[in-house]
């Protein structure tokens, strides 16, 4: 938008953020549910999210899965339908292009939907796992969701009901993922926060680690969060698709 021939505040901030990213390295991104809303996957905690229909204490904890995997799969099937129908949106594809052009080094995502990879990103750290594969908790065999989707209850050759390779509540983040994420955050010169209010621990400590090590923090969210006042250097308010696409255009222009 333009006002009286002058760029509006958001346009000015996008240009400012692009200039910072274009001359900095490494640049990393921390993404959450908000980046995938435009792909048709509601925020789990939002009005139309899965937690409005399924109590997470009953359907999303590792104890619930271990005690009654049949019931938990009622929720997992619905989640799979949402993810299967989703396609990368302009924010995902813009991040993929930024990585390809060397302006973005890593993405740490809290999402399990595989949309960053589908959008062209290669260096993706999946903090909470990925729902495209399944594992047997008994014999450790792994399967793709694609090959098991026809089964009402995806079952291993050994007879045990399979678990998606996602981190349930009550499970720890894999140590390798945890260590790599913090190492990347410590070394980052710029942290892009996209579509997350950073409420879930321990992912919410990543911005703190980056900021303490003098990274510039650029936040893209539809509304302000606790990060905005405490850590964020540049706040870009709005939808991820439009803003990340706008950043891409400005970065290419600035970094050309």
Q: What is the CATH number of the domain that holds 37?
A: 3.40.50.1220
Weakest mean pLDDT among 5-14, 86-95, 126-135: 5-14
- The structure tokens 């913090």 sit at 182
Q: Identify which of 46, 70, 41, 49 has the alpha carbon closest to the alpha carbon of residue 58.
A: 70
Rounded to whole angstroms, the Cα distance separating 107 from 105 reads 7
How many structural domains is the chain composed of?
2
The helix/strand count (H/E) of the chain reads as 11, 11
Which of 92, 106, 116, 128 does the annotation list as catalytic?
128
Please report, in angstroms and rounded to a whole number, the separation of the first and last CA atoms in the chain. Answer: 24
Q: Is 210 found in the same domain as 111? A: yes
Judged against a pLDDT cut of 70, whether residue 53 lies above it is answered with yes
**Residue 225 in tokens:** 């969060």
Q: Kindly tell me the burial class for residue 147, based on how many C-beta atoms sit within 10 Å of its own C-beta (0-12, 13-18, 19 or more).
A: exposed
User: From the centroid of its chain, how far is CA 223?
Assistant: 17
Same domain flag for 80 and 181: no
Please check whether residues 2 and 119 belong to one and the same domain: yes
26 and 98, same domain (yes or no): yes
Query: Could you tell me the CA-to-CA distances from 5 to 2, 9, 16, 45 in Å, in that order?
Result: 6, 13, 18, 40
Tell me: do 143 and 216 sit in the same domain.
Answer: no
pLDDT tens for residues 232-256?
999 999 999 999 999 999 999 876 5
Token representation of residue 35: 């980046």
**Peptide linkage before 26 cis (omega within 30 of 0):** yes
Domain that holds residue 60: 43-85+131-166
Q: What is the pTM of this model?
A: 0.93
Q: Is 150 a catalytic residue?
A: no
pLDDT tens-digit map of 180-200 = 999 999 999 999 999 999 988
Whether residue 123 sits in one domain with residue 95: yes
Beta bridge partners of 107: 29, 124
pLDDT in tens, 150-161: 999 999 999 999
Between vectors from CA 28 to CA 85 and to CA 41, what angle results, nearest 5°?
A: 15
């Amino acid at each position: 938008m333009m006002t009286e021939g002058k760029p509006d505040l958001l346009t000015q901030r996008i240009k400012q953020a692009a200039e910072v990213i274009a001359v900095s390295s490494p640049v990393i991104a921390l993404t959450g549910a908000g980046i995938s809303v435009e792909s048709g996957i509601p925020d789990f905690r939002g009005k139309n999210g899965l937690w409005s229909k399924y109590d997470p204490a009953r359907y999303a904890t590792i104890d619930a899965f271990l005690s009654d995997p049949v019931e938990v799969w009622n929720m997992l099937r619905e989640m799979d339908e949402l993810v299967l129908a989703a396609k990368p949106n302009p924010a995902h594809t813009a991040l993929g292009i930024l990585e390809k052009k060397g302006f973005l080094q890593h993405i740490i995502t809290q999402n399990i939907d595989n949309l960053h990879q589908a959008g062209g990103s290669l260096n993706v750290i999946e903090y909470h796992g990925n729902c495209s594969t399944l594992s047997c908790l008994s014999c450790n065999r792994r399967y793709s969701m694609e090959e098991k989707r026809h089964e009402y209850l995806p079952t291993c050759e050994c007879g045990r009901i399979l678990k998606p390779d996602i981190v349930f509540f009550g499970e720890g983040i894999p140590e390798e993922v945890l260590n790599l994420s913090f190492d990347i955050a410590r070394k980052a010169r710029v942290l892009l926060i996209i579509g997350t209010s950073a409420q879930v621990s321990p992912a919410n400590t990543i911005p703190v680690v980056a900021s303490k090590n003098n990274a510039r923090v650029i936040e893209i969210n539809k509304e302000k969060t606790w990060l905005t006042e405490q850590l964020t250097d540049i706040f870009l308010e709005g939808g991820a698709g439009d803003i990340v696409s706008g950043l891409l255009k400005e970065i290419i222009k600035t970094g050309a």
